[in-house]
């Protein structure tokens, strides 16, 4: 089993960090990428196009019922939560979380339940604590936790909230995250003992899948250890109390 689902959350300053992350991923990247950014209900309909300019992978707004496709970036549309359910993407107008819709925690919780240890979760720049509870859920299922280094983030509160709450696997400047992701998706992993392994039903992106669709809308101090392959640092948090 390998890691084939990357979940990314960000808020203030998160778009810039996302662009830095995605720009260095190769066009044959073998994982699906789902993104929840705190954008207003009347947020830009051109967001996928903006991201596409910096990314070799196809970038779309997620639509309800879409498959999870390797080699594609699917972004939560404005005013909808993005979740994974029964092997497909769902866009929901359920209650706001952390005063946001889309919020990060619903995406992370659903990914933990559906894909377990196959998940890589990444929290980028932002204020508040959205994403922290979702990271805890992913940790319990054996997923890999990654945060933007708070010292590199324009708004460090969100990644620091994760570091203060749960032991993460690595923290990095945004400019170094892509290299680390490429290393991670080629590793073999196993689920924690007693945790069922979800089936690998994520389809590969067809070779002809080149065009971008942009109209498909329907809230610890790190300790340092270096990865010998990609130079990443692991972070370990200390929970108060």
The active-site residue out of 4, 66, 105, 130 is 130
Query: What size, in residues, is the chain?
Result: 241
Does the annotation mark 130 as catalytic? yes
CA proximity to 123, closest of 82, 86, 89, 155:
155
How far apart CA 30 and CA 182 sit, in angstroms, is 9
Those residues with Cβ within 8 angstroms of residue 53's Cβ, 6 or more apart along the chain or in another chain: none
Contacts of 193 (CB under 8 A, 6+ apart): none
State yes or no: is 11 an active-site residue: yes
114 is annotated as an active-site residue: no
CA distances in angstroms from 62 to 65, 79, 96, 134, listed in the order given = 9, 12, 18, 20
The catalytically annotated residue of 38, 98, 100, 180 is 38
Q: Which alpha helices (DSSP H) does the chain contain, by range?
A: 14-22, 47-52, 104-115, 132-140, 157-165, 174-184
Task: Report the catalytic residues.
Answer: 11, 38, 130
């Amino acid at each position: 089993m390998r890691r084939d689902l990357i979940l990314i959350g960000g808020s203030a300053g998160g778009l810039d960090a996302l662009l830095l992350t995605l720009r260095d991923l190769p066009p044959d990247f073998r994982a699906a990428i789902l993104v929840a950014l705190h954008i207003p209900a009347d947020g830009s309909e051109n967001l996928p196009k903006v991201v596409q300019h910096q990314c070799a992978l196809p970038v779309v707004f997620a639509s309800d019922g879409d498959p999870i496709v390797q080699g594609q970036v699917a972004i939560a549309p404005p005013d909808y939560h993005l979740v994974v359910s029964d092997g497909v993407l769902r866009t929901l107008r359920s209650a706001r979380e952390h005063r946001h819709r889309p919020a990060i925690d619903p995406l992370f919780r659903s990914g933990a339940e559906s894909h377990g240890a196959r998940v890589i979760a990444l929290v980028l720049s932002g204020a508040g604590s959205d994403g922290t509870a979702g990271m805890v859920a992913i940790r319990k299922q054996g997923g890999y936790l990654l945060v933007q280094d708070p010292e590199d983030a324009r708004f460090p509160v969100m990644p620091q909230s994760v570091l203060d709450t749960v032991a993460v696997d690595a923290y990095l400047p945004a400019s170094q995250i892509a290299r680390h992701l490429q290393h991670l998706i080629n590793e073999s992993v196993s689920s924690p003992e007693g945790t069922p392994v979800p089936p690998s039903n994520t389809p590969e992106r067809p070779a002809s899948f080149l065009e971008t669709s942009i109209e498909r809308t329907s809230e610890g101090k790190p300790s340092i250890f270096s990865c010998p392959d990609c130079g990443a640092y692991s972070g370990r948090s200390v929970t108060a109390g």
